[in-house]
């Protein structure tokens, strides 16, 4: 099968490699020329996953994987187009469809009769059918569910272990018609490993909602854990002991509290959900509760060790925002200290928070330490 993957990012490239590895002919399209150049030279532009680094050279050499900056070229020769270009929430918390709209316009202009287009990017409910369906139809002059087919299938994998997750998480698939769903199911059976479950749901909206439901659930759950943590701290109760004890009952699945909810998924997808359902007070207040945690955590640390420390994240990728003492821009060479030293700074002041209570934060505990403003590692004060 000839497949186009539009967006060769940290998820798109592993998908392209998975499909090519199953014997298909894959052309990836990306607007970033350095990604296309790296693939042209037979190496992976992303180093997050060893399997990617190992497999790209052989697949490129065998002619099963190639890349282009011309999305139209990739789409014109494809029977199936998979779109995995980000939708982000901007500083004003508005959804930015700009990149995926641009990709959709390029796909529409080159779309051939009979092609199946599948969106994998997490989307607000209804976006596949009501936004992209008409855009593709207008640009191509083809009729949806007649001349071309359209489906949504959320990508549920984690960066760094994409191939493993593709094998073990059911692939949820919903089309804009029964014919589109059936074609998308057939596609995933052909490109995923034989052991992977492909699960059809009623329609594209159900598939879109599935991804928002599973991720928003985690945000709400963490917000509840954070409320428990804040209250427990006022009562001298160790919230981790409480959660461990509560979860010994099989109906309790309380997550860990943390200084923020991180990554580019869990803090974002509740906003995609709220876009359609602004009256969802539980979701909105959970988001607000989690967004307030960085300032709360900074206050805890300040109360424990005073104003003269800096909490750094060596990844240099993330900002928690608003914290008086949070500096997340430390260079990678500062990798050695562990977050536990920073959290023990806080926990020594008899707060009920322990290292792991803060360790579920977005600042990746392995890469974080506690320094004074001159950059010297600060040891936790004696109890
Ligand atoms: N990263 C994750 O852990 C993860 C996990 C599950 C699902 N997802 C979903 O996957 C989506 C993509 O995530 P990612 O981590 O691969 O993002 P990424 O930023 O690594 O990659 C996106 C790629 O799309 C390209 N792009 C942007 N506009 C384009 C256009 N108009 N045409 C062609 N290419 C274009 C960019 O150059 C980039 O290479 C996310 O928005 C999310 O919905 C991500």
Region 261-285: mean pLDDT is: 93
171 flagged as catalytic: no
> How many other CB atoms are found less than 10 A from the CB of residue 52?
22
Selected residue with higher pLDDT from 367 and 233: 233
Q: Which tens digit of pLDDT belongs to each residue from 286-338?
A: 999 999 998 888 778 777 766 555 554 444 433 333 333 344 333 333 333 33
Pairing of β 368-372 and β 309-313: antiparallel
211 flagged as catalytic: yes
What's the domain count of the chain? Answer: 2
Region 208-217: mean pLDDT is: 98
Question: Which residues are near ligand 1 (CB < 6 Å)?
Answer: 6-12, 29-32, 35, 71, 84-87, 99, 102-103, 121-122, 155, 157-159, 265
- Comparing 59-68, 189-198, 215-224, 261-270, which segment has the lowest mean pLDDT? 261-270
Same domain, yes or no, for 124 and 222?
A: no
Give me the pLDDT at residue 336, please: 30
Domain hosting 365: range is 211-372
> How many other CB atoms are found less than 10 A from the CB of residue 20?
26
* Predicted confidence band of residue 56 (pLDDT cuts 50, 70, 90): very high
Question: For residue 361, how far is its CA from the centre of ligand 1 (angstroms)?
Answer: 23
Among 162, 183, 202, the domain-final residue is 202
Query: How big is the chain, counted in residues?
Result: 383
Domain assignment present for residue 73? The answer is: yes
Q: Are 324 and 340 in contact (CB under 8 A)?
A: no
Kindly report the CATH number assigned to the domain that includes residue 320. 1.10.1040.10
Selected residue with higher pLDDT from 232 and 306: 232
* Predicted confidence band of residue 91 (pLDDT cuts 50, 70, 90): confident
Give me the pLDDT at residue 93, please: 81
Helices and strands (H and E) in the chain: how many = 15, 12
Q: Which tens digit of pLDDT belongs to each residue from 7-45?
A: 999 999 999 999 999 999 999 999 999 999 999 999 999
State the chain's mean pLDDT as an integer.
Answer: 84
Question: For residue 275, how far is its CA from the centre of ligand 1 (angstroms)?
Answer: 20
Residues 107 and 88: their CA atoms lie apart, in Å, by 20
Domain assignment present for residue 383? The answer is: no
Residues 166 and 186: their CA atoms lie apart, in Å, by 16
Q: Which tens digit of pLDDT belongs to each residue from 115-174?
A: 999 999 999 999 999 999 999 999 999 999 999 999 999 999 999 899 999 999 999 999
Contacts of 46 (CB under 8 A, 6+ apart): 9, 10, 13, 52
Same domain, yes or no, for 181 and 240?
A: no
What SS3 string covers 260-277?
CCCCCCCCCHHHHHHHHC
Same domain, yes or no, for 271 and 231?
A: yes
Give me the pLDDT at residue 217, please: 98
Q: Which of 152, 162, 118 is nearest to 11 (CA)?
A: 162
């Amino acid at each position: 099968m000839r497949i186009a993957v539009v967006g060769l990012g940290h998820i798109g490239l592993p998908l392209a490699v998975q499909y090519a590895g199953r014997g298909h002919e894959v052309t990836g399209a990306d607007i970033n020329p350095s990604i296309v150049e790296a693939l042209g030279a037979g190496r992976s532009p992303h180093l997050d996953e060893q399997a990617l680094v190992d497999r790209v050279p052989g697949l490129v050499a065998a002619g099963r994987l190639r890349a282009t900056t011309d999305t139209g070229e990739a789409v014109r020769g494809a029977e199936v187009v998979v779109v995995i270009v980000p939708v982000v929430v901007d500083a004003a918390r508005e959804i930015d469809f700009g990149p995926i709209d641009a990709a959709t316009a390029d796909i529409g202009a080159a779309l051939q009769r009979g092609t199946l287009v599948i969106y994998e990017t997490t989307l607000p409910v209804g976006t596949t059918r009501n936004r992209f369906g008409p855009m593709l139809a207008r640009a191509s002059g083809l009729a949806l569910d007649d001349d071309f087919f359209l489906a949504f299938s959320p990508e549920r994998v984690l960066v760094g272990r994409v191939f493993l997750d593709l094998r073990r998480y059911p692939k949820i698939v919903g089309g804009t018609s029964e014919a589109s769903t059936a074609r998308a199911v057939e596609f995933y059976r052909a490109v995923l490993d034989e052991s992977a479950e492909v699960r059809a749901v009623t329609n594209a909206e159900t598939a879109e909602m599935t991804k928002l439901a599973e991720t928003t659930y985690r945000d709400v759950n963490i917000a509840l854990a954070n409320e428990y943590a804040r209250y427990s701290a006022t009562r001298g109760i160790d919230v981790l002991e409480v959660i461990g004890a509560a979860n010994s009952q099989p109906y309790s699945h309380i997550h860990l509290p943390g200084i923020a909810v991180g990554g580019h998924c869990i803090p974002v997808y509740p906003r995609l959900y709220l876009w359609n359902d602004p009256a969802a007070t539980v979701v909105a207040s959970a988001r607000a509760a989690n967004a307030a945690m960085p300032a709360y955590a900074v206050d805890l640390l300040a109360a424990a060790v005073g104003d003269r420390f800096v909490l750094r994240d060596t990844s240099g990728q993330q900002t928690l925002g608003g914290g008086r003492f949070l500096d997340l821009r430390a260079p990678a060479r500062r990798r050695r200290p562990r977050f536990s030293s920073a959290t023990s700074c806080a926990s020594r002041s008899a707060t009920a928070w322990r290292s792991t209570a803060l360790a579920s934060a977005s600042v990746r505990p392995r890469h974080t330490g506690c320094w004074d403003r001159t950059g010297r590692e600060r040891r936790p004060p004696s109890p």
